[in-house]
Structure 1
């Protein structure tokens, strides 16, 4: 499903260089549910940005769903992001003046799908995350947990190869966090590949595998013992 080989990422500010990733290699198979962890500055967010085709590496190779995306141009990367990757962010990133239905339709609008199909698929995705009775609500009319559920619906509506979640429970209370993790587990049980950045150990315990970063390198890669299954 996904493989990176000897990935190096260097940030340059004036005469200063900072190596955020140091020859990182990792494979994630189809249907895995992987947590990416590490302290601030460890490289986990940089790594996630590269996996999500939001940033480019200086060295290395990246294969996503059988495609070498290492050297693609910006417009090609944009196509990969829309077709192959479903993003879920800590801040939800919903458009305030659009209903939940319209927010979830957006990726399909960019993909050029007809209106009838957009509506049907958006309705189905919202129903899957328990929001079929909220489709006409605006983001400011629902709770934080419901906003994140809408964001997950938007992420899955194009049937991406992989779902990438960056601190998806970071702005939520405990009850809402558990609801979100239940949805991710259900999606994973249906075959979705999920990669999640989190700094919360209890959230990572819901995943199947934990990859830990420190100082730009992977320092451990383990299966989750005593996994929390909802």
Structure 2
């Protein structure tokens, strides 16, 4: 599903460069559930941005679902993001003026999907996250945990190759966090590939594999021992 080869990412700082990622190699297969961890400044967020085609690498190669995305144009990357990747963010990123079903339909507006099909797919995605009873509510009328479930429904509505979740439980209480991880585990069981950035060791225990990043390098990459299954 994902192959990263000798990835290097640098940022210009004055007259010098800061190397955020230095020779990173990662392979992620289909149906994996991988957590990426690391201290602040380790490079994990930069890695997630590159995996999500939100940022470009400076050197190396990135193969996503059989396609080399390393040197694509901005329009081509936007197409890949819409078709291949479902994003879930810590801050939900829902549009406040739209209700729940309209937020979930949003990715399909850019794909030429008919109104009828948009509604059918959105309802199917919302059923998977248990929110069919909230489809006409606005984001400010539902809880944080429910907002994140809407975000997950939006992420899966186009049936992406991979779900990228950046600190998906960072703004949630313990119970809501468990609800979200339960949904991710169910999606993974149903065939979804999930890559999740988290700074919380207990949340990483719900994944199947942990990759730790430090100083721009992979320092740990192993299957989760004593994995928690909800």
Q: TM-score, normalised by structure 1?
A: 0.99
Aligned length: 230
Name the residue aligned to 2:135: 135
Name the residue aligned to 1:51: 51
**Deviation of 1:13 (Å):** 2.5
Moved more, 13-22 or 184-193: 13-22
The runs of 5 or more residues in structure 1 that have no matched partner are none
For 1:162 and 1:128, the matched residues in 2 are separated by: 17
**Deviation of 1:127 (Å):** 1.0
For 1:23 and 1:70, the matched residues in 2 are separated by: 15
Name the residue aligned to 1:71: 71
Deviations 1:98-143 (A, max 9, x none): 0010000000111110000000100110111000000000000000
For 1:80 and 1:51, the matched residues in 2 are separated by: 11
Structure 1 segment 70-109 matched on structure 2, within 5 A: 70-109=70-109
1:155 paired to 2:184: no
Name the residue aligned to 1:196: 196
Name the residue aligned to 2:117: 117
Name the residue aligned to 1:18: 18
Deviations 1:135-186 (A, max 9, x none): 0000000000000000000000000000000000000000000000000000
SS at match of 1:78: helix
SS at match of 1:111: coil
For 1:68 and 1:222, the matched residues in 2 are separated by: 26
**Deviation of 1:16 (Å):** 2.6
SS at match of 2:147: helix
Deviations 1:40-82 (A, max 9, x none): 0000000000000000000000000000000000000000000
**Deviation of 1:4 (Å):** 0.4
The runs of 5 or more residues in structure 2 that have no matched partner are none
1:168 paired to 2:168: yes
Runs of 4+ in 1 over 6 A off after TM superposition: none
SS at match of 2:81: helix
